[in-house]
A and B are shown apart, each in its own frame.
Chain A
Amino acid sequence: MGRDRWSAAGLALLAIGYLFAARRYPLDTLTTPGPGIAPLGSGLALLALAVWLFIVAGSVRPAHAAGGLPEIRVAPTCPTESAPQRPGSRTALLMCGALVLYAGLLPRLGFLGSSVALVVVSSRLMGLEGWWRPAVLALGVTGVAYLLFARWLGVPLP
C-alpha cells in the first residue's frame, strides 16, 4: 500500500472520529438549522474525499507507467520523499519533543525562561556549536521579542 493510500486511510479514520464526536450537536429543523449541520456535512465530505483519494492513489501508478502526464505533487522545495527516514529526521523529532515540552513549561517558567531554553536547544539542534554562542543568541532573540511585544506593544506575555 502506497503513501497516498495510507494517507487516505488516515483521513477516513479522522472523518469517522469527527462524525462520531459530532453526533451530539443537533441538526434541528430546516427553518432553524442547528449547529450539527456543518460538522455532519464536512465530515461526510472528508470521508468521500478519502475514498476518492484511495481509489485515485491506486490508479495513478499505471498511468505513470503508460507515460501519462506526470502528476505535479507539491512545490519542489517541499521534501516530497518521506522525510522521517533521513538521518536529519531524528533531529527534527527531537525538536518536536522540545516544542511540546516548551508549551508545557511556558506557564510555569514564564516566557523569558522557557524561550531562552527553546532557542538554546533549537540552535544546538541546528548545529550551532559550543554553549556560549547559543546562549548569547537565546538572550538576544528572547530579549528583542520581549522588548518589542511586551514592552512596546503591550502584549502581556506569560
Chain B
Amino acid sequence: MSDLFVALTPPNLLACFIGTVLGTVVGVLPGLGPAAAMALVLPLTIKLGPTAGLIMLAGIYYGAMYGGSTTSILVNVPGEAASVVTTIDGYRLARRGRAGAALAVAAIASFVAGTFSVVALQLAAPLVARAALAFGPAEYFAFALLGVVLLANLTGGSRAKSLAMVVLGIMLSTVGMDPLGGTVRFTFDLAGAQAGLSFVAVTAGLFGVAEVLATMADPASTTPVARVRFRELYPNREELRRSVPPMLRGTVLGFLVGLIPGPAATIASFVSYGVEKKISRHRDELGTGAIEGVAGPEAANNAAAGGGMIPLLSLGLPFTPSTAVLLSGMLLMNVTPGPFLLRDHPQVFWGVIGSFYVGNVMLLVLNLPLVGVFARVATVPPRFLMPGVLVLCVVAAYADNNNLFDVWVVVGAGIIGWAMRALGFNPAPLVLGLVLGPVLERAFLQALTIARGEVSGLWASGPAAVMLAAAAVAFVAPAVLALARRSAADPV
C-alpha cells in the first residue's frame, strides 16, 4: 500500500503529466483515438521502464476521456465516441452562452468519476472481475437489446421515429466486413467502403457538418453568443448543485458498464443520459440545454474507462482497443497482468493506481484554466467559426483510418443529417444503433452457435432471461399505458 507513493517520485510525476497532457490533446481533437496515440508512444514508454511507462500510457487512456467533451460542447463535433451524447445538451448550453459552465462541469464530472473508479478499482477489483466473466454472448445480446429498447427514445418525441433511427443506425453498421469476419456487405464494389462507415465520420457529419448547414439555412437560429465576463465563464452555484446527483449516478452506472466487453464508455454515456431523462428532477429540460445532460454522461464515460481497467488488471483481458495497447505494453515490459500482478509487481500495480489519483488531479488543474480559453471559441461569430468546423470534421473523418472514402461519408452524413433535422428526426438514436448494431449481431450469432443451434440458449441463463423479459416489457409498456390513458380519458 505504501507503494502508492511511488507515483509521487519526480520521474513518475513527469510521466503522468506527459501522459495526461497527450491524452487531453488526443481527446480534444476528433478523429484521433487514445489507442493510436498510445501505440505511437509505446516505444518510448518501454525505455522508461514498467512503472513510469505504464503510468504514461494510462495517463493517455483516461486523459482522452477528459478532452472528449470539448469539441462536443463548443462546435457540436464529438471528440470521442463516448462524447456523442454530450453534444445534445452541451452544445445547446454553449449556444446559450454557458459553454464555460458546461466545460467546467464536464471536467469536474470526469474528475469525480475518475477518482471514484480508482477507489473502486483498488477495493473491489478481483471480486468484480469475476462478475464480468459471467457475461457471455447470450447475456450480452440480452443486455444490448434491453439497451436499444430503453434508450431508443433518449431525446423524447415520437417513439416510432426514434426506434426507426436506431434501426437505421443498425443497418448502417452492417456496411463493410461483418462483425464475425468472412463477408463484406453492402459495399457495392467501392473499395473504400470495405472498412465500413467510420463512426467518427458519421458522427462528425451528422452533428458537426449538419449543424453548419442548419446555421446557413437559418442564420437567425444561431445568434452569436455575447462576450461573457470572466465570472460567468464558470458554473454558478445553481448549476453545480444540479450537477451533483447526475454525476454520482453516472459514475456508478459507468463503472458497472465498464466491466462489460465492447464499446463500454459510449454505452455508459447513453445509459446515463437515459437514466437522467427518466428520473432527473429537471428531466423536462434535458435536450434543451440542461447541465445534467453534460454531468451524467461525462461522469459515466470516465467511470467506464476506470471500470475497464479491472478486467485488464485482474484477468489480463482488454475489452477495448486502448486497454489492448496497455496490455501489449505490459507484456513488452515483462509485467503480466492477472491474479499475480499484485504479488509479482507491487510497485507497478500500486504505482499505476497511485498515478490515477495524481493524474485525475492534474487533469482537473489542467482542464479548468483551459475552460476559459475554450469558452471563448463559442463567442467567435459563426461566419468565422463554421468554416473551421467544416475543416475539422473532414480532417477528423480522414485521420480516423487514413481512408479517403471517409471524407465522402462525412459529407454525406452531414447532408443527410441536415435533412433529418428538417424532417424532425434526431440523430442521437441513430448513433446508438450504430454502436450497438455490431454488438447485437455478434452476440446473437455467437449465442446461437454456443447453444449448438438451440434458440432457447438465448434465455437459458438467469440474467439473460431477466434482461430479455425486461426488454419485452419496456417495449410494450408505453403502448399499453397510452391505451389505458386514452380509454380513461374518453370512456366508451
Contacts and interface: CB of A to CB of B under 8 A. Distances in A.
Touch between chains A and B, by CB atoms below 8 Å? yes
A87 B73 CA distance: 28
B364 interface: no
A88 B216 contact: yes
B171 A43 contact: yes
A24 to B, nearest CB: 9
B395 interface: yes
Interface string B405-434: 001100100110010011111100000000
A118 B384 contact: no
A68 B489 CA distance: 9
B224 to A, nearest CB: 12
Given A18-B171, A92-B213, A115-B391, A53 B445 contact: no
Contact of A92 (B180, B217, B408): B217
Contacts of A88: 216-219
Q: Chain A at the B interface: mostly helix, strand, loop or mixed?
A: helix
A126 B384 CA distance: 8
B387 A127 contact: no
A31 B453 contact: yes
Interface string B377-400: 000001110111011101100110
A78 B76 CA distance: 13
B157 to A, nearest CB: 5
Contact of B422 (A82, A148, A157): A82
A65 interface: no
Interface stretch (B121-129, B162-170, B316-324): B162-170
B387 A138 contact: yes
A1 B421 CA distance: 19
Contact of B161 (A14, A30, A53, A156): A53
Contacts of A157: 395, 398
B216 A95 contact: yes
Contacts of A128: 383-384
Contacts of B398: 155, 157-158
Contact of A75 (B395, B411, B426): B426
Given A91-B216, A126-B382, A148-B29, A72 B391 contact: no
A119 B388 contact: yes
B415 A99 contact: yes
A6 B453 CA distance: 41
A72 B156 contact: yes
- B-side binding surface: helix, strand, loop or mixed? helix
B217 A91 contact: yes
Contacts of B408: 103
B217 A89 contact: yes
Contacts of B168: 11, 14, 46
Contacts of B212: 95, 122
B487 interface: no
B411 A103 contact: yes
Contacts of A42: 167, 170-171, 174, 437
B217 A137 contact: no
Contact of A25 (B185, B384, B423, B444): B185
A104 B31 CA distance: 21
B216 A49 contact: no
Contacts of B248: none
A43 B121 CA distance: 42
A75 B40 CA distance: 40
A49 B160 contact: yes
Contacts of B186: 18, 21-22, 39
Given A77-B221, A149-B399, 13 more contacts: A4-B423, A35-B185, A39-B174, A77-B92, A82-B423, A83-B217, A84-B217, A96-B418, A111-B395, A119-B388, A123-B387, A125-B216, A141-B391
21 contacts: A25-B185, A31-B449, A33-B445, A35-B185, A37-B445, A45-B170, A49-B160, A74-B287, A77-B289, A79-B218, A79-B221, A84-B422, A86-B218, A100-B411, A107-B404, A115-B391, A123-B384, A137-B384, A141-B387, A141-B391, A153-B32
| Closest A-B pairs by Cβ, 5 of them | A31-B453, A30-B453, A126-B383, A92-B217, A38-B441
